Amino acid sequence: MTKAEIQQVKLRFGIIGNNETLMRGIDIAMQVAPTDLSVLITGESGVGKESFPQIIHQYSRRKHGQYIAVNCGAIPEGTIDSELFGHEKGAFTGAISERKGYFGEANGGTIFLDEVGELPLPTQARLLRVLESGEFIKVGSSKVEKTDVRIVAATNVNLAQAIANGRFREDLYYRLNTVPIQVPPLRERGEDVILLFRKFAADFAEKYHMPAIQLTEDARQLLLAYSWPGNVRQLKNITEQISIIETNREINAAILKTYLPQDNAQRLPALLGGAKESKSFESEREILYQVLFDMRQDVTELKKLVHDIMSERATGGNASEVSSNAYYTPPSLVPATPVENTVPTIIQPIVPSSIPVHSPIDDDIQDTEEYVEEALSLEEAEKEMIRKALERHHGKRKNAAKDLNISERTLYRKIKEYGLD
């Protein structure tokens, strides 16, 4: 498609921006529109994915048919099959009449399944059948019905990760992802942020009958530096807030900063000041697991230290002859002597033979036993955590390793070590 054709599409559907990835997505949507191929649109929440299925529908042979947009994440799991495929009268409590369903209504048109990653697994199986054969069965019916619909899906979920976690069917993913379109997040679109702000400011000025707000240079730099976790939707909301609240129509960085969430302040390069990023963990489980490994390493070092001390004392003489009541004279208190290699004086009191001699090495041995016992308890905790992770992921070691934040090789070794095969 030519740039002029893409520009015409942008004007028709209200798309603002010149980002290369965005332009490529529009180009793909226009090229795939005349076909009946399934399209999967991916991107973060709020980037404007809903514009692309409309482009595909309007430039297809189905443009005179029904276009139905369904938010899969907003429909309860218990009713989504009825919403999509319809139901018979009396199929369940409250089904007082027959219902056609979206796939029946959109016959000859297009269905946009937004947040398709939120579909429950049984519904995914039904959707796969529609994609493969165009057939479906209403809830409470045994009659197979046919439909001719074009399916365009969108998601902000990492479907590859959802497949690995057993939450999304791999075969359905490949059927939906015949043609992929990636919509870039706002933080990667550069100057598009300024263009969008101006467009929203002009729209709200017309809506509320007031002069449009404008940004100073430092405010523009802040706008470009911000990470925009809510993407275009967040930018639009903030622009509307400023348009309504601020009486001064020239907005500087200080004013703009008050409208940006504080928890994202550390993401602004101008405000970082060289601060170091701190290590974060995804969950308390990972923190506990890391602490256990650190404790085990500390215990191992302590055991080695005790062993070294015992070895040094054992080489200094017969430990059984040294009483626990012996006194050690520091080198600073020993009289000067010309004899080389002077050693500290040990004053050994006379101990009756009837009194058992207690050696300080015995204390070391007891302490070592305590460390070994503590290490064993840590090993039991580690074994239990690995066992539970394997149960959670139904024996899938790759997923369990990711859950425990360790490599697969380490997990395999631990499984063999603890006999968890």
Retrieve residue 405's tokens: 């934040």
Instruction: Report pLDDT for 383.
Output: 84
Instruction: Report pLDDT for 50.
Output: 94
Domain boundaries, the chain: 3-184, 190-272, 280-314+357-421
Give residue 415's pLDDT band: very low, low, confident or very high (50, 70, 90): confident
CB atoms within 10 A of CB 17: 21
CB 253 within 8 A of CB 294: no
* pLDDT > 70 fraction of the chain, expressed in percent and rounded: 76
**Which of 60-74, 89-103, 301-315, 406-420 is predicted least confidently?**
301-315
The class level of CATH for 190-272 reads mainly alpha
Give residue 126's pLDDT band: very low, low, confident or very high (50, 70, 90): very high
The superfamily in CATH containing domain 3-184 is P-loop containing nucleotide triphosphate hydrolases (3.40.50.300)
Instruction: Report pLDDT for 315.
Output: 65
- Measure the CA–CA gap between 305 and 312, rounded to whole angstroms: 11
Instruction: Report pLDDT for 388.
Output: 85
- If you write DSSP's letter for every residue of 5-34 in order, what string do you get? HHHHHHHHHT-----HHHHHHHHHHHHHTT
DSSP conformational letter for 189: S
The dihedral through the CA atoms of 59, 60, 63, 64 has a sign that is positive
Reported pTM: 0.61
Mean pLDDT, residues 222-251 taken together: 95
Mean pLDDT (the chain) is: 81
Q: Give 314-352 pLDDT, tens digit per residue.
A: 665 444 444 444 444 444 444 444 444 444 444 444 444
| Cα atoms in the Cβ-side hemisphere of radius 13 Å centred on 92 | 10
Q: Give 1-52 pLDDT, tens digit per residue.
A: 788 899 999 999 999 999 999 999 999 999 999 999 999 999 999 999 999 9
